[in-house]
Amino acid sequence: MSMNSQGRPTAPTADNDTGEMTPVFESFSGHQGLRIAEPLVFELGTTQTTGVDVEEIEDFELSVGGLERDSEIGCPGLAEPDVVRHFTRLSRRNYGIDMGVFPLGSCTMKHNPRLNEKMARLPGFGDIHPLQPLSTVQGALELMTELSHWITTLTGMPAVALSPKAGAHGELCGVMAIRAALEARGDAREIVLCPESAHGTNPATAAFCGYKVKSIPAKENGRVDAEALKAALDDTVAAVMITNPNTCGLFEDEIKDIADAIHAAGAFFYCDGANFNAIMGKVRPGDLGVDAMHLNLHKTFSTPHGGGGPGSGPVVFSDALKDFAPMPYVVAGADGFDIVEDGDDTSLGRLTAYHGQMGMYVRALSYMMSHGSDGIRQAAEDAVLNANYVLASLGDVMSASFDGPCMHEALFDDRFLKDTGVTTLDFAKAMIDEGYHPMTMYFPLVVHGAMLVEPTETESKYNMDQFIRSMRGLATEARAGKTARFEGAPYHAPWKRLDETQAARQPVLRYTVPEAAE
């Protein structure tokens, strides 16, 4: 039985030395202690009941022009406590940044400071509508202007478009601006170059904008092959999309030289700025020759990520591209702030219905202002320090893909698992039993069986040591041929191994009433 330092038992069941387990009985309820069985919401309620008591509606004239629904809506009627319990129980099966270390690489899953939430709920930011008269939202427009100032200062770029709603959307914005700039000079080009290590959204964006994508190989040291890139540059290349630091967690050290070559060929340099967390306050992309770059506010600037909140992907532009930035944008005039929504002839147009993710602007600016410029630099330094701590602590039992220190994420591959029968997938599933969300698996594609770990600056030494202990334990067992805990992992998760391919390709998104119940 494991004991804490005070001699009190911390875990009632497993005894690692004897392997003795407390017997587990089937419960009558189907629940297992705090692990409560949860049916679908449709199975909990019925369409015949309702959780609210409303008066019978008197006869009325329908005014939807024949578009009224002709079938039942099919939603189960549940009382409020049942709805609250259902979603609370589901939420407890989820893993989030508020539960523990979330080491997904390139995602920068950092803590979302509660101060941000408080600011975003201030009525002047939280309770406004995009169609309100501008005279009543001057504070919000000032905040957008202030945020733009921080972003352009940190990146060393002259202009920013706030409205894109995610990193991928920002890429779309940037490449559309590049296309608009090329068309304006009557120079339609057809190719976009992407390194092999690129995030899938880069080639997808280029293809979506009508370009052919050409892949540029990586060198032995994990950086893009600058010579191969230069050889591929000619007057058919519209843009080169490079992530820096790249998805191997490495700084592209020839980036300035590459940028000069891109410009000499008349092309544009799109930088994927998803990994800006590693260099903010240290390096300004504007000084590296970048023409357009998105920032992921939900990564670098601590706004909620994934299911926790909408993304936001502002794009910064160089002088060569800034006239092609999308509308709307905020301008400061003698009578206060105004929004330019149309009439800008060079702008690529509009990418969003309104002005973007206001709530995320407030959170990101709160993060920036509460850190200050020195704090932002420190956050980048600590993120890099933490990643290198992981790399140095695990380098002897796992196989680091590249020599030397890393930036914000540590990349391992599956060479240390060779001939053990354990795969990267098994290893990741065993991490779930350890109480961790797995790291990024099988990406980047430039190494075999990749495991990409990004701890971020918000993990303390205590958390890092616990995580490292766990990873060391798993790696050591796998190498020693003790594969039992990997074979059926996860043993302790509510759901075991799902068919992830089918879930991605053929998701079942609609509940169908079982025939017997109809």
Ligand X SMILES: *Cc1c(COP(=O)(O)O)cnc(C)c1O
| Contact residues for ligand X, defined by CB under 6 A | 106-107, 166-168, 199, 201, 243, 247, 272, 274, 296, 311, 313
**What are the beta bridge partners of residue 338?**
331
Q: Output 86 or 199, the one with its CB closest to ligand X.
A: 199
User: Closest CB to ligand X among 296 and 318?
Assistant: 296
Q: What share of the chain is helix, strand, coil (3-state, %, to 5)?
A: 35, 10, 50
3-state secondary structure 172-189: HHHHHHHHHHHHHCCCCC
- Return the structure tokens found at 174: 């940037």
Q: Vertex 493, ends 393 and 504: CA angle to 5°?
A: 95
Minimum CB–partner distance for residue 253 and ligand X (Å) = 18
DSSP H helical ranges for 189-254? 201-208, 226-232
Angle formed by the axes of helices 461-479 and 424-433, to 10°? 130
Cα 214 to Cα 216: distance, rounded to the nearest angstrom: 7
Query: Residue 83 CA to chain centroid, in angstroms?
Result: 29
DSSP string, 286-301: GGGT-SEEE--TTTTT
User: Which DSSP category does 135 fall into?
Assistant: G
Residue number with CB closer to ligand X (295 or 422): 295
Minimum distance of ligand X from residue 296's CB (angstroms): 5
Tokens of 257: 């030289």
Which residue number places its CB atom closest to ligand X? 167
Q: Are the beta carbons of 315 and 271 closer than 8 angstroms?
A: no
Burial class (CB in 10 A: 0-12, 13-18, 19+), 356: buried
Nearer to ligand X, 3 or 445 (CB): 445
Nearest to ligand X of 308, 336 (CB atom): 308
Q: To the nearest whole angstrom, how small is the minimum distance from the Cβ of residue 384 to ligand X? A: 16
| Rounded Cα–Cα distance for residues 358 and 141 (Å) | 10
Q: Which is nearer to ligand X, 74 or 200 (CB)?
A: 200
In angstroms, the CA 144 to CA 148 distance is 6
Q: What angle do CA 251, 256, 260 make, to 5 degrees?
A: 145
CB of residue 298 to ligand X, shortest distance in Å:
6
Closer to ligand X by CB, 274 or 428: give it. Answer: 274
Tally Cβ neighbours within 10 Å of residue 368: 23
CB of 446 to ligand X, least distance (A): 13
Q: How far is the CB of 421 from ligand X (least distance, A)?
A: 31
Q: Which is nearer to ligand X, 109 or 471 (CB)?
A: 109
Q: How far is the CB of 272 from ligand X (least distance, A)?
A: 5
Rounded to whole angstroms, the Cα distance separating 492 from 485 reads 11
- Shortest Å distance, C-beta 130 to ligand X: 22
Count Cβ atoms within 10 A of the Cβ of residue 208 and give its class: 0-12 exposed, 13-18 middle, 19 or more buried.
Answer: middle
Comparison of 278 and 325: residue with beta carbon closer to ligand X: 278
Of 295 and 368, which has the nearer Cβ to ligand X? 295
Overall size of the chain counted in residues:
518
Least gap, CB of 266 to ligand X (angstroms): 25
CB of 319 to ligand X, least distance (A): 24
